[in-house]
Amino acid sequence: MKIQKKIEKLFSIVYSQNNIKNFEKYILYLASLGFVIHLSIILLSNYNFIELSFIETNLFSNPISALYTPFSFILIYEAFLLIYYIPRSFTTAVGKQYEIISLIVIRKIFKDIPLVDLNADWIENINNQQLVFDLVGVLIIFFLIYLFKKTKENLPIKSVSEKLDRFIASKKLVSIVLLPVLLTVSIISFANWINGVFINDLFDQNINYLFFNEFFTVLILADVFILLLSFQYTERYSQLIRNTGFIISTILLRLSFAATGLTSILLIISGIVFGLIILLIYNAIEKERTK
């Protein structure tokens, strides 16, 4: 009990409302500053005041691409909120993962818009096809997230128990440990990008999934650890299958980072659909059980 209280006290300090508001404020400042700097570089490049030789030239060729930078900071904040929401419930954390993946696809659209060729045949041009895939994919993903949240609202309310309190305390400890991991991964990813693009002029990783490639890998490991912890506090088959299904859903999202084109979008949609169906079945089982 003493350890549990210490964990809860540490969690309340680390994730205090004051710290969350300050982090949100600093992210907003960085997003605004990043947008101004990115837009300035694009304008200076377009008017030949500076010469750029980046591999990701489409990020610095069109003013619309400047929206990529503030969205990147917003995604970092969403990743922070995901870690903060882990102790609430597995379902809430998974829903936040779906929101993050949708924002990643939206951010990718801002990066790929300069590659669109309006004079080419839309069916034959690969870049034009990719824009269509992403636009349709965002609409489908957005609708699936809506269905997931509506389904989540129908979840039966759990009664408070000593076992549940201990399990929540365990998840709070995982959330506390993940915060420095998030900061470390973000710093290393940014440093690798700076080194690859500006110093060695070589960066072969897909910038759309920079940081999130590693972050989702860490999330999968954290989800597996929480699943193992749950065995101590519940023996219900439906709950264990639900949690396992959510891990599979996260793995499908992670696999989409290694794919391109339509395959990537289909993996994302498949992951969310899988999680939604798992939640629908779990709700049906729980309603029968309560009756």
Torsion (CA) 232, 255, 132, 114 in degrees, nearest 10: 110
If one counts the domains in the chain, the total is: 1
Mean pLDDT in residue range 46-66 = 72
Q: Say what the pTM is.
A: 0.86
Domain limits at 147? 2-290
Q: Cα separation of 274 and 54, whole Å?
A: 39
- pLDDT band of 71, cuts 50, 70, 90: confident
- pLDDT band of 204, cuts 50, 70, 90: very low
- Residue 57 in this model has a pLDDT that exceeds 80: no
- pLDDT band of 53, cuts 50, 70, 90: low
Q: Tell me which residue of 241, 207, 243 sits closest to 225, measured CA to CA.
A: 243
Helix (H) / strand (E) containing 262 = helix 261-290
Token pair for 101:
């993946």
Mean pLDDT in residue range 19-34 = 93
Mean pLDDT in residue range 266-287 = 94
pLDDT tens profile 149-167: 999 987 766 666 677 788 8
Give pLDDT, residue 52: 66
Give pLDDT, residue 197: 55
How many CA atoms within 13 Å lie on the side-chain side of 123?
A: 0
Q: What is the DSSP letter of 86?
A: T
The amino acid that residue 199 corresponds to is I
Contact (Cβ atoms closer than 8 angstroms) between residue 246 and residue 90: yes
